[in-house]
Amino acid sequence: MSASSFSPGSTIGILGGGQLARMLCMEAKRMGYKTLVWTGGLEAPASALCDQVIELPFDDLNALQQFNELADVATAEFENIPRATLDAVEAAVALRPSAHAIATCANRELEKNFLRSQGVPCAPFWIISNAEELAAAMAELAGPGVLKTSAFGYDGKGQRKLQGDENPQEVWQAFQAPRAILEGFITFQAELSVMIARNANGEVRCFDVVENHHRHHILDLTIAPAPFAESVRQQAQDIATKIANAFDYIGIMGVEFFLTADQTLLVNEMAPRPHNSGHHTIDACATSQFEQQLRAVCNVPLGCTRLLSPAVMLNLLGDMWPAIEQAPNWIPLLADGSAALHLYGKKRAIERRKMGHITFLGDDALARANAIKKSLLSQGKD
């Protein structure tokens, strides 16, 4: 891939049209870039904000030709895009990050093997393709673990926790996946993540490490900065930098960690795109993760990642809506002058769907976030 740079006025092709693409389009418009969104035929909150949209499946050859002709440079909003589509785009347009990086992060087997090859610490794991391999792995693990599908797993989907005494034949038959990984279960003190950006010239910038809390296996709260020792935060940034350089990565990436009681960091997974745990950067940092994605993809100098204020990001899931098409009462929230509401333009509030987020700024951000969360859940469908 050439190290071409793209100035404002260029067209950014975005594979995917969800909320991440929507927020990327908003930053692109502010910076003077044009956007082309290929939705893949899915519901696309980004379509209302982009300059051009292709509302066809990712395997449509006419859509592919149109995308490649119109985009000056391309990126992806999510990783579960067919590899054939990624390769076909990359053959015609500068795709950043690369098809290899996106596809590796989309497949747990490839992801874990990559981490192992780079000497990056992660949970012990075994590759599983049949009941016999599962039985052998469970015997070697000799304790609790998590069985995960190799592909199409996110927000806790495609997973089953095992205690270690189950019948492997029955487990594998019920799991119904062609390939999987078995990971040793990690007892952790906290879940952390760091957003890292790298451009084609090799410039790297990390954002502050954050602490994440989950609800229903979906991100609930992000606390910035993470309230842990500087040595832990620096180690997380160093590991993320090692990963980005090993990939020759171009773009922004989220790296998630488990922090164990003895302060060991283990990489859980990587997201080759803007990440939910980086949304606070829109309101709390000198440069947002979305602006940084654009800067990295366009190979212009990266922005300052300084955290301007302590912040907490609260995810807004569909179970906070009183009804599928009835929004909560936002007036109490809007009375908080140090809270920023972001709604994604989704029409139907399905229970665990990400509908938006709120960023709270200030030293008391966590208390205010928890108070609003309690109020919203009391209004919601739960």
CATH classification of the domain holding 161:
3.30.1490.20
Residues 242 and 162 in one domain: no
Can you give the pLDDT at residue 1? 43
Tell whether the model's pLDDT for residue 360 goes beyond 60. Answer: yes
Residues 162 and 201 in one domain: no
Give the chain's radius of gyration (CA, Å). 21
Q: Give the chain's end-to-end CA distance (angstroms, integer).
A: 49
Residues 205 and 333 in one domain: yes
Can you give the pLDDT at residue 355? 97
Residue ending a domain, among 165, 184, 203, is 184
HEC string of 204-217? Answer: EEECCCEEEEEECC
9 secondary structure, DSSP code: T
Is 107 within a domain? no
Is 3 within a domain? no
Which stretch of DSSP H or E encloses residue 148? strand 145-149
Can you give the pLDDT at residue 154? 64
Can you give the pLDDT at residue 43? 83
Using DSSP, state whether 318 is helix, strand or coil. Answer: helix
Using DSSP, state whether 150 is helix, strand or coil. Answer: coil
Question: Domain holding 85: CATH number?
Answer: 3.40.50.20
Can you give the pLDDT at residue 158? 85
> How many domains would you assign to the chain?
3
Tell whether the model's pLDDT for residue 94 goes beyond 60. Answer: yes
Is 128 within a domain? yes
Residues 338 and 266 in one domain: yes
**Confidence tier at 251 by pLDDT (50, 70, 90):** very high
Question: Domain holding 197: CATH number?
Answer: 3.30.470.20
Residues 167 and 215 in one domain: no
Residues 202 and 180 in one domain: no
Instruction: Report the alpha-carbon distance of residue 46 to residue 64 in Å, rounded.
Output: 19
Mean per-residue pLDDT, 240-248: 98
**Tell me, what amino acid is at 186?**
I
Residues 222 and 274 in one domain: yes
- Bridge partners (DSSP) listed for residue 298: none
Q: What is the DSSP string of 159-199?
A: EEEE-S-S-HHHHHHHH--SSEEEEEPP--SEEEEEEEEE-
**Confidence tier at 156 by pLDDT (50, 70, 90):** low
Can you give the pLDDT at residue 3? 82
Tell me what percent of the residues of the chain surpass a pLDDT of 90: 93
Whole-angstrom CA distances from 230 to 52, 211, 280 are 44, 13, 20
The average confidence (pLDDT) of the chain is: 96
Residue ending a domain, among 142, 166, 184, is 184
Can you give the pLDDT at residue 346? 93
Residues 309 and 357 in one domain: yes
Is 353 within a domain? yes
pLDDT digits (tens, 9 = 90+) for 101-150: 999 999 999 999 999 999 999 999 999 999 999 999 999 999 999 999 99
Mean per-residue pLDDT, 203-223: 97
Residues 160 and 301 in one domain: no
Can you give the pLDDT at residue 153? 63
Residues 335 and 203 in one domain: yes
H-type alpha helices, 278-360:
281-284, 289-297, 331-334
Residues 169 and 262 in one domain: no
Residues 163 and 255 in one domain: no
Q: Detail the DSSP E strand segments found in 61-101.
A: 73-76, 94-95
Is 4 within a domain? no
Can you give the pLDDT at residue 381? 67
Tell whether the model's pLDDT for residue 262 goes beyond 50. Answer: yes
Residue ending a domain, among 77, 95, 113, is 95
Query: Domain range holding 23?
Result: 11-95
Instruction: Report the alpha-carbon distance of residue 322 to residue 304 in Å, rounded.
Output: 40
Is 359 within a domain? yes
Is 109 within a domain? no
C-alpha torsion 66→90→49→330, nearest 10: 140
Between 40 and 2, the higher pLDDT residue: 40
Instruction: Report the alpha-carbon distance of residue 309 to residue 283 in Å, rounded.
Output: 9
pTM (2 d.p.): 0.95
Tell me what percent of the residues of the chain surpass a pLDDT of 70: 98
Can you give the pLDDT at residue 155? 60
Is 118 within a domain? no
Mean per-residue pLDDT, 251-275: 97
Can you give the pLDDT at residue 151? 87
Residue for token pair 């790298």 = 198
Instruction: Report the alpha-carbon distance of residue 180 to residue 165 in Å, rounded.
Output: 19
